[in-house]
Amino acid sequence: MKKEDCFELGIITKAHSFKGEVVLFLDTDVPENYYQLDHIFIEINKQLIPYFIESTKVQKVKNLRLKLDGISTEQEALMLAKKKVYLPIEMLPELKPDQFYFHEIIGYSITNQKNEKVATIIEVIDNNSGNRLLNVSVNHKEALLPFNDNHILKVDKPNKNIQLDIPEGLLELYM
């Protein structure tokens, strides 16, 4: 499985018991969609390694305790701590036409209030604080723009464009 064919589901935060269980933090708005998984891919040495899940227990809304096939000791589980977990993109739930996943908008154009192209999206920075940012390319320089529902004016998926209400003077800081 290639990383570009997957999405990041979360991270293994720690080992849980001497029996080799791990705790998976689900970095998603709807964790319930992933309570019944039968396999995951764990990034080890920049490669995605498949693991089958023997059992799952919900610890907290976003934390799952997993028993993985082939992992039977605390030491083996500790080796997986702090590793990112991925699933194939086709396992993402369908969205409404006006919704999108962050990985989908990489490369989209950003237009301002006057519908003039001003930037291209490089990355979405989501630090789970509610203050999402877009890392964009403006005149071959990187810039950061606020990215929340209050700033999004229009999403045009067919034309790969997002129109933003960009705070006055912000882009000029990067020129």
pLDDT in tens, 54-76: 999 998 889 999 999 999 999 99
60/64 Cα distance (integer angstroms): 7
pLDDT, one tens digit per residue, over 96-107 is: 877 888 888 999
Do 18 and 70 belong together in one domain?
Answer: yes
Confidence of residue 129 (pLDDT cuts 50, 70, 90): low
d(CA 4, CA 89): 9
CATH of residue 85's domain is 2.40.30.60
Residue 130, pLDDT score:
66
Residue 96 lies in a domain: no
Is residue 161 within 8 Å of 109, Cβ to Cβ?
yes
Give the structural domain span for 86.
3-91
**What's the pTM value of the predicted model, to 2 decimals?**
0.74
Helix (H) or strand (E) holding 75: helix 74-78
For residues 121 and 149, membership in a common domain is answered with: yes
118, 138 contact by CB (below 8 A):
yes
Pair (53, 133) in one structural domain: no
Q: Is the pLDDT of residue 131 over 90?
A: no
Q: List the 117-125 sheet strands across, edge first.
A: 141-146, 133-138, 117-125, 109-111, 161-164, 152-156
Establish if 65 belongs to a structural domain.
Answer: yes
* Residues 162 and 118 occupy one common structural domain: yes
